[in-house]
Amino acid sequence: MFRPAKRIEDLGVSEILAITARANELRRAGRPVIILGAGEPDFDTPDHIKEAAIAAIGRGETKYTALDGSPELKRAIRDKFQRENGLEFGADEVTAAAGAKQILYNAMMASLNDGDEVIVPTPCWTSYFDIIRIAGGVPVPVACDDSTGFRLTAEALEAAITPKTRWLMLNSPSNPTGSAYHEADYRKLIDVLHRHPQVWLMVDDMYEHIVYDGFRFVTPAALDVAIRDRCLTVNGVSKAYAMTGWRLGYAGGPAGLIAAMAVVQSQSTSCPSSVTQAAAIAALDGPQGFLADRAASFAARRNLVVEGLNAIDGITCRTPEGAFYTFASCEGLLGCVTPQGARLDSDRDFCAWLLEVADVAVVPGACFGLPGYFRISYATSQAELSQALARIAKACGMLQ
Ligand code: PLP
């Protein structure tokens, strides 16, 4: 019988995938299931990006490139950081990989020794914990609730730091909550990090371009020179340019860390796809005007979902600053009994019941480290969202 390695024996494939699989099974059985679980924009990759990839194939750019990004891609990444974030990086201070996920994996593999601790405010993206664990580290969750807008406070950070802490991982705007850190929030956290020089900062800026109501996005490395020297700023083209399937993430940080990450990559995937690199150059160098149009479209859907959820008795939902997720509390419905006679004791029960009875797939907050909530991804049409909300409202109205 196959025995998995110790480093992965307690890990499973994502619960979100399991929920999506069940939703698709119901669809195949003829049920009109609406899936609000996907973590990807419903827009298409813009044409100028696709054309750049086709042109690269035509030019024969189909061979290995430099390990962690071609010089031209690294130039485009450095220009992006300079133009949009006010961050100056040298050529040896940026790296590209097959997705931001691989960037995070490279960074953890390159920096963690067994037992090193990584502070992760929760709720958080599901992959953080398992990437840390595979790399031998110990994720240290710090629960952040609605009262702080799901943001980590300076006091909670200070209390979580130990001599073994190696990293603090932040994500703004956040998957799953859509919360984003203001400059003032970051400055308070940076003050704490000044007192603990062994702690490095990893910021995941994947949703940088999806912010609403004039929210001013900032990234910590641009705020403080000392922090810049121990900060990895992670980004990618997946969410901003609707390029999830192309697989290209990138980061900027101190040269020593970037070189160590290249060692990990050299023995795993080597360079990211040469064709994807050409597409990413077009994305980063090309017109950026459509990003605001897409963000405006997401904002209209956010308003629809937040309003619709808050109109349902027992559900409350804060208005997120960005990303394309809402993270709503269903605590007011826990303990209720369904018309089928089952008691909904947890967010998992609630979400499973919604799928079976209302044909709507959403993800329990427990998957992200905060039970009592559920995540909706609103990267789908307004018509479908309205229908899903009506179904959720009807189902909740039947609870006793
Ligand atoms: N970071 C966050 C917060 C995400 O939500 C995701 C994808 O869902 C990623 C990173 C990974 O992005 P990529 O497609 O570049 O691997």
Q: Specify whether 141 is located in the same domain as 189.
A: yes
151 and 107, same structural domain? yes
Question: Looking at 285, 300, 319, which one is the last position of a domain?
Answer: 285
Residue 10 has a pLDDT of: 85
My answer on whether 245 and 333 are in the same domain is: no
HSE value, Cβ hemisphere, 13 Å, CA-based, for 74: 18
Residues in CB range of 40: below 8 A, 6 or more apart: 238, 239, 242, 244, 379
Question: Whole domain around residue 81: which residue ranges?
Answer: 60-285
Cβ-proximal residues to 68 (8 Å cutoff; 6+ apart), any chain: 95, 96, 97, 258, 261, 262, 265, 271
Q: Which residues contact 356 (CB under 8 A, 6 or more apart)?
A: 26
Residue 205 C-alpha to ligand 1 middle, in angstroms?
A: 9
In this predicted structure, the answer to whether residue 177 has a pLDDT above a threshold of 90 is yes
* Residues 302, 241 share a domain: no
The atom of ligand 1 lying closest to the CA of 171 is 3
Asked whether residue 111 is domain-assigned, the answer is yes
Same domain, 167 and 97: yes
In a 13 Å sphere around the CA of 13, the CA atoms on its Cβ side amount to: 5
Residue at 49 is within a domain:
no
Q: Is 14 a member of any domain?
A: yes
7-21, 261-275, 276-290: which range is least confident on average? 7-21
Residue 13: pLDDT over 80: no
Which residue, chain included where needed, has tokens 């990895």?
A: 232
pLDDT of 17: 85
CA 344–ligand 1 middle distance (angstroms):
31
With the most atoms of ligand 1 within 8 angstroms of its CB, the residue from 206, 241, 375, 377 to mutate is: 206
The number of folded domains in the chain is: 2
Identify the CATH number of the domain in which residue 80 sits.
3.40.640.10
> What are residue 78's phi and psi, to 5 degrees?
-65, -40
- pLDDT at site 72: 98
Residue 99 lies in a domain: yes
pLDDT band at 265 (very low <50, low <70, confident <90, very high): very high
Q: What atom in ligand 1 is closest to the CA of residue 104? A: 10
- Is the domain of 281 the same as that of 301? no
- Specify if 50 maps to a domain: no
Confidence of residue 12 (pLDDT cuts 50, 70, 90): confident
What Å distances lie between residue 231 and 69, 101, 181, 261, 267, CA to CA?
Answer: 20, 17, 16, 14, 24
Residue with tokens 């969750």: 141
Mutate to test the pocket of ligand 1, among 105, 127, 250 (most ligand atoms within 8 A of CB): 127
State phi, psi for 96 to the nearest 5 degrees: -130, 150
The beta strands (E) that lie in 133-242 are given as 138-143, 165-171, 200-204, 231-236
Q: Spell out which residues line ligand 1, taking CB within 6 angstroms.
A: 39, 99-101, 125, 171, 175, 204, 206, 236, 238, 244, 249
Residue whose Cα lies nearest atom 7 of ligand 1: it is 39
| 212 and 329 both lie in a single domain | no
Ligand 1, atom 3: closest residue by C-alpha = 175
The pLDDT, as a whole number, for residue 38 is: 82
Average pLDDT over residues 270-281: 98
- The pLDDT, as a whole number, for residue 355 is 95
pLDDT tens for each residue of 330-380: 999 999 999 989 999 999 999 999 999 999 999 999 999 999 999 999 999
* Residues facing residue 167 across a β-bridge: 118, 200
Residue 190 · residue 224 · CB < 8 Å: yes
Distance 104 CA to ligand 1 centre (A): 9
> Of 95, 120, 124, 302, nearest to 199 (Cα)?
120
Same domain, 233 and 141: yes
Percentage of the chain lying above the pLDDT 90 cut: 94
Report pTM: 0.96
* Residues 221, 95 share a domain: yes
Round the average pLDDT of the chain to a whole number and report it.
96
pLDDT attached to residue 171: 98
Q: What is the pLDDT of residue 127?
A: 93
pLDDT (0 to 100) of residue 346: 97
Whether 96 and 140 map to the same domain: the answer is: yes
Residue range 65-81, pLDDT digits in tens: 999 999 999 999 999 99
Residue 111 has pLDDT above 90, yes or no: yes
Q: Are 208 and 77 contained in the same domain?
A: yes
Q: How far apart are CA 176 and CA 377, in angstroms?
A: 9
Residue pair 169/128 in contact (Cβ under 8 Å)? The answer is: yes
* Residue 54 located in a structural domain: no
For residue 144, give the nearest of 194, 105, 189, 197 by alpha carbon.
189
In a domain, residue 55? The reply is no
Does residue 52 lie in a domain region?
Answer: no
Indicate whether 270 and 349 sit together in one domain: no
Of 285, 317, 341, which marks where a domain is finished?
A: 285
Question: What CATH number is associated with residue 370?
Answer: 3.90.1150.10
Using the 3D structure, point to which of 228, 250, 285 is the last residue of a domain: 285
The CA R_g of the chain, rounded to the nearest whole Å, is 21
ipTM of the complex: 0.99
**pLDDT at res. 174:** 98
pLDDT at 277: 98
**pLDDT confidence tier of residue 397, bands split at 50, 70 and 90:** very high
370-383: b (≥16 Cβ within 10 Å) or e: bbbbbbbbbbbeee
CB 205 within 8 A of CB 234: yes
Name the β-bridge partners of 170: 203
The model's confidence at residue 5, banded by pLDDT at 50, 70 and 90, is very high
The pLDDT of residue 9 is 87
